[in-house]
Amino acid sequence: MPRLRMRICLSAALAGAGLILSGCANPSVGSDRDDPTQPVTLKFWHGWSNPAEVKAVDDSIARFEKLHPNIKVKTVNNVTDETVNQALRAGGDDAPDVVSSFTTNNVGQYCSSGMWVDLDPFMKKTGVEKAKVFPKTFLDYTSYQGKQCALPLLADAYGLYYNKDAFKEAGIERPPRTMSEFKRDAAKLTKRKAGGSYERAGFMPNFRLYQNSPDRLFAQWGPTYFDKKGKAQLAKDPRTRQFLATQRELMDAQGGYAALEKFRTTFGDEMSPQSSFMSQKAAMHMDGEWRGLMLKEGKAKFDWGTAPLPVPDDQADTYGRGYLTGTVAGIAHNSKHQNAAWELVRFLTVDTDQVVRFANAIHNVPSTFAALTSPKLDADPSFRTFIDIARNPHSQAMPPSINGGQYITAFQDFAYNAEAGKVPDLGKGLRDLDAQIDADNLQSVN
């Protein structure tokens, strides 16, 4: 792609991929001079589409409007990042005032491009001390280079679901806490039929399975993707090789990549009763907090539990950590009602009662200190596991980047090849990966 320094936007094809570069924001300018006590109608775009989730959003808006009778909110649900980006580039009266996104990967673009406004001035005006409200990890994934252009609107934490019946059958007393225990238990839990095909895998480690994205599993090692100068350092960090080696060992302990990959193709859709864990084709499974609600509503035919994912043996003291991500909310750069919009964003993200009620309604992890410790929060032990993961100081989110999730995609593609044995020289492959990530980042800056 051409590296133009002129203030122009990329082609429709690139825009369709959700990529926004600095300087591409629509020239129309919003206003932070509005009076939030005056009558106004705001437009709030979000991505929730499940009827129960949409109802939870609508109930939240009803509570907000009761507190702010002068502010009316029109919501549009099931909106993708691409649709939001197109609307913000186009501007005009139909563009949203308050926006949300299900991915933290694009925060670096939202902040650096100016598409989402800096929220620090609004927090300062209204006395919100963000470091006292939000855990540091959540603030990290909603900001970029010191610009807080988003705030967390509930979070997702990833942990381990395990089949207690299968554990009892295999003589395993508790879920694994270290990677050596993980490999041992996965092998014990694996069952084969008379002909050699799988009846059940102990744990399906293949990166293409459902939520098994390599960046999520890699969080158990506590990696640092970039150095202080912003250069990729996956090749220099020994944890990268340890992670890929462990994943290979997990596969070998259960029959190898080819056999497991063939078995993976027999699994049903992730959200269906035929999914691997629900159908008992996997005894352990990595997933987010929402899976527990699905298992209950689907009336799973086995006893199950939750726990943090195992950690490397030499980092046993970090057990309890996990991968964090979540929904983010912000104010559109071209909103002419930014102070009123801030009142909505503040209510949705800061108000403890609202955050807890919304978290309980859609079974997501709350995203403020107060909500995480609220006695009104769902006390279900399987859900509390993920609350503890979110509160663990070692838990990790992906660092924001100016080109969004492009470096994550590059890492995923590399990991797919590595697990399939298509990277003969891992050191060279990782160095080439770092070079690719750095080149992509430089292109985005230029």
The CATH number linked to 89 is 3.40.190.10
Classify burial at 32, counting beta carbons within 10 Å of its beta carbon; exposed 0-12, middle 13-18, buried 19 or more: middle
Residue 244 has phi, psi (to 5 degrees) of -65, -35
**Comparing 303 with 102, which gets the higher pLDDT?**
303
- Whether 191 and 234 map to the same domain: the answer is yes
Range of the domain at 276: 158-318
Quote the pLDDT of residue 435. Answer: 97
What is the per-residue burial (b if ≥16 Cβ within 10 Å, else e) of 389-401?
bbbbebbbbbbbb
pLDDT at residue 134 is higher than 80: yes
3-state secondary structure of 353: helix
Helix, strand, coil percent values for the chain (each to nearest 5): 45, 15, 40
Cβ atoms within 10 Å of 230's Cβ, excluding its own? 15
Closest CA to 21 of 2, 46, 35: 2
Residue 210 region, left (φ>0) first, then alpha (ψ -120 to 50), else beta? left
419 within some domain: no
- Whether 352 and 365 map to the same domain: the answer is yes
Q: What percent of the chain has pLDDT over 70?
A: 93
Q: What is the mean pLDDT of residues 180-194?
A: 96
88 within some domain: yes
- Whether 199 and 312 map to the same domain: the answer is yes
74 within some domain: yes
pLDDT at residue 151 is higher than 60: yes
Domain count within the chain:
2
Query: Tokens for 376?
Result: 């009104």
- Whether 66 and 179 map to the same domain: the answer is no
User: What Å distances lie between residue 409 and 395, 406, 431, 436, CA to CA?
Assistant: 21, 5, 16, 11
Among 31-40, 88-97, 122-131, 152-161, name the one with the lowest average pLDDT: 88-97
Q: In the structure, what pLDDT confidence band is assigned to residue 18 with cuts at 50, 70 and 90?
A: very low
pLDDT at residue 44 is higher than 80: yes
Q: What is the mean pLDDT of residues 231-248?
A: 96
- Whether 147 and 56 map to the same domain: the answer is yes
Q: In the structure, what pLDDT confidence band is assigned to residue 4 with cuts at 50, 70 and 90?
A: very low
Among 90-99, 127-136, 251-260, 430-439, name the one with the lowest average pLDDT: 90-99
Q: What is the mean pLDDT of residues 397-413?
A: 89
3-state secondary structure of 156: strand
31 within some domain: yes
Among 48-52, 176-180, 274-278, name the one with the lowest average pLDDT: 48-52
Of 342, 359, 391, the position where a domain reaches its end is: 391
- Whether 127 and 202 map to the same domain: the answer is no
Residue 363 region, left (φ>0) first, then alpha (ψ -120 to 50), else beta? left
From CA 283, how far away is CA 304, in angstroms rounded?
9
Residue 385 region, left (φ>0) first, then alpha (ψ -120 to 50), else beta? alpha
Q: What predicted TM-score, i.e. pTM, was given to this entire model?
A: 0.88
- Whether 110 and 56 map to the same domain: the answer is yes
From CA 381, how far away is CA 211, in angstroms rounded?
22
Quote the pLDDT of residue 35. Answer: 95
Residue appearing with tokens 């159908």:
279
Q: In the structure, what pLDDT confidence band is assigned to residue 357 with cuts at 50, 70 and 90?
A: very high
Among 2-11, 51-60, 329-338, 402-411, name the one with the lowest average pLDDT: 2-11
Of 272, 291, 318, the position where a domain reaches its end is: 318
423 within some domain: no
